[in-house]
Amino acid sequence: MAKRMRDDEASLIDRSQRGDVNAFNELVLHYQQTTYGVVYRMIGDADIAADVTQDAFIAAFRAIQSFHGGSSFRAWLLRIASNMACDHWRRTQRHPVESLEVLTDEDEPHAASALSALVETGQEANPEAYVLSQELQELIQRGLQELPLDQRVAVVLCDIEGLSYEEISLT
C-alpha cells in the first residue's frame, strides 16, 4: 500500500509540475494537517500558523519545478513550511506586535478542536486521561517555544514529524 501511495504521490507531483492545480490541491489536502502541525509547533499561535501554512503551500506550488526527488516530497514541503515559520518568527522578534484583543474562554482557538478531539477519540469514557494528555501537549508546546529557533526546527522536524537527519539535510 505504501508503494501505491508513493506512486500516486509521484504522479500528483509530476502533474503539478506540468501546471495541474487540481493535482497540487490533492497534495495540499494530503499534507495540510502535518504541515499545519509543524508550523503551529514552531510559532505557537493557531491563527498565525494557519496563515503561514497557507503561504507555505503557495510557495511550494510556485517552486514545484525545483522538486527533483532528492528527498521525499513531505521533507521538501516541511522544509519550506519550517523556513517560512522561521522567517515569520524572526520578523516578529524584530517588530513585536501587541494584540489589543482580550481573549475570553469562548474565543480560545483550541477549545473547539479539543472538544472535537474528545468526541472523535472516544476519550469521553476516560476524561482524566484526556486531561492529562492535553496538559502534556501544552507543556511540550511551551517547552518548544522556549527553545532557540534552530533547535525548535530540529526537534519539530526530527522528533515530532519523524524526518531523518538525512531528509532534513537534503531539503
* 56-112 per-position pLDDT tens digit: 999 999 999 999 888 899 999 999 999 999 899 888 877 665 554 444 444 445 544
Could you count the other beta carbons within 10 Å of the beta carbon of residue 49?
23
pLDDT confidence band for 16 (50 / 70 / 90): very high
CA dist., res. 102 & res. 29, Å (int): 33
116-155 pLDDT per residue, tens: 454 455 555 677 777 777 777 787 778 878 888 778 777 7
CA dist., res. 61 & res. 55, Å (int): 10
Query: Which amino acid makes up residue 31?
Result: Y
Q: Which of 50-54, 63-67, 159-163 has the lowest mean pLDDT?
A: 159-163
Can you list the domains of the chain with their CATH numbers?
2-103+150-170 (1.10.1740.10)
Q: Which residues contact 84 (CB under 8 A, 6 or more apart)?
A: 39, 52, 55, 56, 59
Among the residues of the chain, which ranges form H helices? 2-17, 21-43, 46-63, 73-94, 111-120, 127-146, 149-154, 165-170
Instruction: Report the alpha-carbon angle 35-37-43, nearest 5.
Output: 105
Predicted pLDDT at 142: 80
What does the DSSP 8-state code read for residue 160? I
Q: What are the Cα distances from residue 89, in Å, to 24, 93, 96?
A: 27, 6, 10
Q: What is the pTM of this model?
A: 0.62
CA dist., res. 109 & res. 44, Å (int): 11
pLDDT confidence band for 36 (50 / 70 / 90): very high
